[in-house]
A and B are shown apart, each in its own frame.
Chain A
Amino acid sequence: MLTVENTKAWLLRFAEKVEANKAHLSDLDSVIGDGDHGNNMARGIKAMQEALESKEASDPADVLKNASMALLSKIGGASGPLYGSAFLDMSKQAKEDASDVSAIFRAGLSGIQKRGKAEPGEKTMVDVWHPVIKALESGELTTDTITDAVEATKPLKATKGRASYLGERSIGELDPGAVSSSYLFEAWLEGED
């Protein structure tokens, strides 16, 4: 069940993780992308933190929508519209039913796929969202699920996004978007303890 309080607390934990790993995200991105994922995400989550603290929210859907707008406006790279779509569609689903967290995350995934047109196996953030939601739906989500999903992007060859220009050379590297998405889910799990 999402509430205003636990949704805010979750997203603030996500923000802390992104901030703490900003350099790591940019390092990963400099190998297979344009090296800006850490800075872009940090700029976005800073705006998100400010929005969460300053904007009124009467339900968890509002919290998610405020996060969506901040990320969309401030990230500046491809992750902006991707996370923006994810949070916007999670917000719409939370408006319908805030009690079903799996359905909310599933709506987020479909938002990402609608925007980025990626399928599982293409070395993108979808490769974390997809298995994590499956595990959540069957009540088996653990930190290992998340870590394994991120690690599983390593042997994949990128066929979507900027890393796809590298072709074979993308094999053996982690996908930065998959890593930043893992922070979102780790932050969620920490609130479930």
Chain B
Amino acid sequence: MSEIGIVLSSHVSELAEGVYKLLSETAPKVSITYAGGTDDGDIGSSFDAITQAIEENEADHILSFYDLGSAKMTMEMAIEYSDKTVELFDVSFVEGAYTAASLLSGGADYDRVIEQLKPLIIK
């Protein structure tokens, strides 16, 4: 299992789940958890769900990816409240998370992952 995990945060539960599915296939050796939508299943972001995704991830060092602005802000709040080391990337959601997952699963070290994420920064 990779020592670094991945947390996904999206406004829509199906979107979060879909990206999770995509990543899981390419990266079976990475702990990936996700949060999508509000607690009521509506479009939005849930602090509690994101916190849970961070806590339930098997890794203590986490790379996190989000789709849009408020998912980012909610993630930032969850990071403030968490004891884990969680890094947030302003990269394209699908490509960024997929790149990180593939590299981590292939045994790439942290620096190499960061290097590969740099060209994907879009926001």
Contacts and interface: CB of A to CB of B under 8 A. Distances in A.
B69 A73 contact: no
Interface stretch (A74-82, A101-109, A130-138, A149-157): A74-82
Contact of A73 (B47, B73, B76): B47
Interface in A46-68: none
Interface in B71-92: 73-74, 76-77
Nearest to A36: B44
B77 A76 contact: no
A181 interface: no
A169 interface: no
Contact of B70 (A73, A74, A81, A85): A81
Nearest to A116: B73
B42 interface: yes
Contact of A76 (B42, B69, B76): B42
A82 B74 CA distance: 9
A87 to B, nearest CB: 11
A39 to B, nearest CB: 9
Interface residues of B, number: 15
Given A81-B74, A81-B77, A72 B69 contact: no
Contacts of A73: 39, 46-48
B39 A78 contact: no
Contacts of A40: 44
Q: Which 4 A-B pairs have the closest CB atoms?
A: A76-B44, A81-B73, A78-B70, A76-B38
Nearest to B37: A76
A71 B44 CA distance: 14
Nearest to A161: B69
Interface string A78-95: 101110110000000000
B44 A72 contact: no
B115 to A, nearest CB: 26
B66 to A, nearest CB: 12
Contacts of B33: none
Interface string A100-133: 0000000000000001100000000000000000
